[in-house]
C-alpha cells in the first residue's frame, strides 16, 4: 500500500462508504496535515536513528575556490560525512568546527581522524577508499578504538562489520541510508540490464561519448514512470536526506516535480560534465573509489599533510548550529551551511531566525557564508530580522551577494543535485 501522502482523493473530496451514505467531507487540508505529519515522522525516524551520509554530497573543490581560506580563518560547517572538513583542512585555516546534531555523522569523522593519526596510507585507503577490509576489526581494536570519544567508541564497537569486507561487492559505502538506497538502485540497474552501460560512462573519452551512452542506454530505461514515482516517495527522499519541506520548496521554486528535477540533475552530470574526476557518482555505481578518482583526503600527498598536523585543525561538536554558535567563545570568518535552511524555513522559521541571530553575533565583518538549496532561490533569508549594533535589521541588508560567481560555480558542480548555490559576505 502506498503511503497516505500518495493516496488520491476522489473529486468529491469524500470517502464512499459501504452503505452509500455520504459522510461529512474530509477537507484536503486535513489530509495534507496527515501527509505532512507522516512525512515528518518518517524523516525524523530516519535521521534520528541512522547514519545517513556515508560520504559528503557537496563538491568541496568549488567551496575551497570561493572560501579562499587563510591561516587566520576560522570556519564552521555541518559535518555530514566529514570528507569536506578534511578537504578544507588542506588550506590550513586556523580552525574548522564540524557541527552536527546526528552523533553518528560525527562518529564517522572521528573514525577518519583516528585513521589519519594511527594508520599508514595503505590501510587507510583500504578502509575509506575501497570501503573496508577483512582485517578491519583487528585494526579497529588495536589502533583506532582508543582514539575515539566514548560516544563514538560505543557506536563503532557494534559496527565493525560495516568495514569488514568479505567479498568484492561488500562496502561501507553501501551502509547508511544513502548507501542502502544507492545499492538498491544499482541492483535495479543490474536486473534491468544496463549496469554495465552505466559503468561505461566513467570510461568515456569525451563528453560526446558520455552523452551518447546516457541518451541511448540510461535515460530511456532508468527514468520510467515507476522509478520517478519511487524517487518521490517519503521513504526514498528521507533515505536521501530530503525532508518534505525541502521537496515542497524545490517544487515551488523550480516549477517541476521531484522526479523531473532528479532527471535533469542526472542528465546534467553525465552529458555536460566530464566523469573522469567525478568521484561522487562513481562511488554509488561501484561502491568504492579508485586511487585516481577519490576525495583529496584519500590521495597520498594530501593524507601525508593531514597526518603531519593539519588534522588537528578539525574540531567536532555534536550540537545544533545555534547552540554551538552561542557557546563558542570566539568569532568566525567562514560559514558552510549546506541546505538545512530549506527545511528550517518551512518547519521552524523561529529556529531559523534564532540561527541567523547567532550567526550575526559570531561572524566577523567580511565573513563569507556559503549555502545550497533544493530550490532555485532562498528568498526566505533576507527578510529575517536580527539585532545588530543595538538596531533591528534585515539579514538581507547586512549581506552582499555574489550571484554571478555562485551561478558560474554551480554550473561546474560535479554533484549537481541542488537547485542553487549561494555566496554572501557580511558587510554591515
Q: Where are the domains of the chain?
A: 1-37, 60-119+296-426, 172-286
Q: Which residue has the cell 542528465?
A: 267
DSSP lists the bridge partners of residue 97 as 76, 315
What share of the chain has pLDDT > 70, as a percent? 83
Displacement of CA 390 from its chain's centroid (Å): 36
**Residues 6+ positions from 166 with CB-CB distance below 8 Å:** 134
Collapse the DSSP code of 110 into the 3-class scheme (helix H, G, I; strand E, B; otherwise coil) and give the result.
helix
Q: How far apart are CA 301 and CA 4, in angstroms?
A: 52
**Domain 60-119+296-426 = CATH 3.40.30.10:** no
CB 332 within 8 A of CB 362: yes
Q: How far apart are CA 283 and CA 55, in angstroms?
A: 9
Q: How far apart are CA 119 and CA 404, in angstroms?
A: 43
C-alpha cell at 325: 554558535
pLDDT score of 27:
47
Q: Please, what sign has the CA dihedral across residues 136, 141, 142, 147?
A: positive
Q: Taking 90 as the threshold, does the pLDDT of residue 82 lie above it?
A: yes
C-alpha cell at 252: 515551488
Residue 18's pLDDT band, with cuts at 50, 70 and 90, is: very low
Q: Output phi, psi for 7, to 5 deg.
A: -85, 115
Helix (H) or strand (E) run with residue 327 in it = helix 321-327
Its pTM stands at: 0.85
CB 232 within 8 A of CB 260: no
pLDDT score of 49:
57
181-193 pLDDT tens trace: 888 888 888 988 9
Q: Please, what sign has the CA dihedral across residues 263, 265, 269, 272?
A: positive
94-111 pLDDT tens trace: 999 999 999 999 999 999
CB 287 within 8 A of CB 131: yes
Q: How far apart are CA 57 and CA 417, in angstroms?
A: 8
CB 259 within 8 A of CB 228: yes
Q: Please, what sign has the CA dihedral across residues 406, 408, 410, 414?
A: negative
CB 115 within 8 A of CB 322: no
135-177 pLDDT tens trace: 999 999 999 999 999 999 999 999 999 999 877 678 999 999 8
Q: How far apart are CA 23 and CA 16, in angstroms?
A: 8
Amino acid at each position: 500500500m502506498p503511503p497516505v501522502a500518495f493516496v488520491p482523493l476522489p473529486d468529491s473530496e469524500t470517502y464512499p462508504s459501504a452503505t452509500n451514505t455520504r459522510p461529512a467531507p474530509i477537507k484536503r487540508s486535513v489530509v495534507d496535515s496527515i501527509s505532512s505529519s507522516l512525512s515528518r515522522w518518517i524523516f525524523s525516524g530516519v535521521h534520528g536513528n541512522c547514519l545517513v551520509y556515508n560520504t559528503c554530497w557537496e563538491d568541496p573543490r568549488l567551496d575551497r575556490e570561493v572560501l579562499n581560506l587563510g591561516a587566520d580563518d576560522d570556519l564552521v560547517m555541518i559535518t555530514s560525512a566529514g570528507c569536506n572538513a578534511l578537504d578544507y583542512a588542506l588550506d590550513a585555516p586556523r580552525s574548522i568546527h564540524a557541527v552536527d546534531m546526528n552523533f553518528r555523522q560525527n562518529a564517522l569523522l572521528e573514525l577518519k581522524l583516528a585513521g589519519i593519526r594511527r594508520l599508514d596510507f595503505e590501510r587507510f585507503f583500504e578502509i575509506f577508499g575501497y570501503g573496508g577490509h577483512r582485517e578491519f576489526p583487528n585494526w579497529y581494536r588495536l589502533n583506532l578504538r582508543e582514539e575515539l570519544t566514548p560516544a563514538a567508541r560505543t557506536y563503532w564497537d557494534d559496527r565493525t562489520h560495516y568495514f569488514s569486507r568479505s567479498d568484492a561487492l561488500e562496502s561501507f559505502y553501501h551502509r547508511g541510508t544513502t548507501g542502502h538506497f544507492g545499492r538498491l538502485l544499482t541492483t535495479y540497474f543490474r536486473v534491468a540490464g544496463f549496469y554495465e552501460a552505466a559503468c561505461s560512462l566513467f570510461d568515456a573519452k569525451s563528453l560526446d561519448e558520455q552523452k551518447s551512452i546516457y541518451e541511448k542506454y540510461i535515460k530511456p530505461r532508468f527514468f520510467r514512470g515507476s522509478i520517478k514515482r519511487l524517487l518521490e516517495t517519503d521513504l526514498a527522499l528521507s533515505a536521501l536526506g530530503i525532508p518534505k519541506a525541502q521537496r515542497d520548496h524545490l517544487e515551488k521554486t523550480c516549477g517541476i516535480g521531484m522526479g523531473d528535477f532528479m532527471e535533469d540533475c542526472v542528465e546534467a552530470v553525465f552529458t555536460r560534465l566530464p566523469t573522469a574526476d567525478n568521484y561522487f557518482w562513481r562511488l554509488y555505481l561501484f561502491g568504492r573509489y579508485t586511487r585516481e578518482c577519490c576525495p583529496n583526503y584519500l590521495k597520498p600527498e594530501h593524507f601525508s599533510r593531514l597526518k603531519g598536523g593539519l588534522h588537528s585543525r578539525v574540531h567536532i561538536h555534536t550540537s545544533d548550529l545555534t547552540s554551538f554558535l552561542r557557546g563558542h567563545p570566539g568569532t568566525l570568518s567562514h560559514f558552510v551551511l549546506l541546505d538545512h535552511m530549506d527545511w528550517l524555513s518551512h518547519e521552524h522559521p523561529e529556529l531559523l531566525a534564532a540561527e541567523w541571530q547567532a550567526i550575526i553575533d559570531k561572524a566577523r565583518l567580511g565573513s563569507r557564508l556559503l549555502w545550497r538549496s533544493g530550490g532555485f532561490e532562498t528568498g526566505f533569508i533576507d527578510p529575517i530580522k536580527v539585532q545588530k549594533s543595538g538596531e533591528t535589521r534585515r539579514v538581507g541588508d547586512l549581506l552582499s551577494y555574489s550571484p554571478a560567481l555562485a551561478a558560474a560555480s554551480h554550473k561546474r558542480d560535479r554533484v549537481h543535485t541542488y537547485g542553487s548555490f549561494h555566496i554572501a559576505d557580511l558587510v554591515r
